[in-house]
Each structure stands twice: as structure tokens, then as C-alpha cells.
Amino acid sequence: MNFQIKRFGLWSILRIGFCLSFILGLITGFFWAFLISVFGNLLHSNLPVQTLDFGRIGMIGFFFIPLFFGLLYGFIGAFFSLVLGVFYNLVASLIGGLELEISKKGLDKEQEERMYHWV
């Protein structure tokens, strides 16, 4: 049985785009917080002049840097996901959406009814 995705709900695209981008931003933020902490401490301990103590900043940064990157990536990812969703809906309304082919192989009658109930 063939189905066609004619449009996506923009609110669901916005939520999914924000959540996935937020998680990617958290991972990136922890990576940068780790690098700042490690290399900042190495720099602080090996320089003869007094520099900024990156150890204390690193401890604070392990909370704020990932949060900052998560929110930054989240809002940017949500914006671009929304833009792509609008473009998809526009193009799908003009030339048709993505086609899906779903097979009934291996389903009993009850599973088949539940599967096609939403159509």
C-alpha cells in the first residue's frame, strides 16, 4: 500500500529540531568545557607570569558552557528545521510529497487493522 506525506506539522518539526540540536549542543559544550579546563590549567601552571585561573572557570564552565552551547545549537537548529519544513510543505503542495510503500507481510488481521486505522 502506498502513502504520500503531503505536509509536516511545523510545530512538531520545531520541537524535534530544537531537541536534537540541543542534545548535540550539550555534547559539544561538554567537549569545549573539557578542553578549556585541561588546556587552561596546563597554561596556567607552565607560565612564569600570573594568568587567569582556568581551574575555577573550568568548574563553572562545566555547567554554563554546555548549557550555552545547547541553547545556541537548539535555537539555531530549530530555526533551520522550521525553514526546511516550510520549504518541504511548499514543494510538496506543488509537486507532491514523499511516497512511502508499506507492506502487510507478516501481520495478522488485528495488527493490520491497528496499522491502517489512522489512514
Residue 67 exposed, middle or buried by CB count within 10 Å (0-12, 13-18, 19+):
middle
How many C-beta atoms lie closer than 10 Å to residue 25's C-beta? 22
Confidence at residue 37, expressed as pLDDT on a 0 to 100 scale? 75
> End-to-end alpha-carbon separation of the chain, Å?
11
Average pLDDT, whole number, for the chain?
Answer: 82
Helix (H) or strand (E) holding 8: none
Rounded distance, CA 25 to CA 16, Å?
14
Supply angle C-alpha 2, 119, 84, rounded to 5. 70
pTM of structure: 0.70
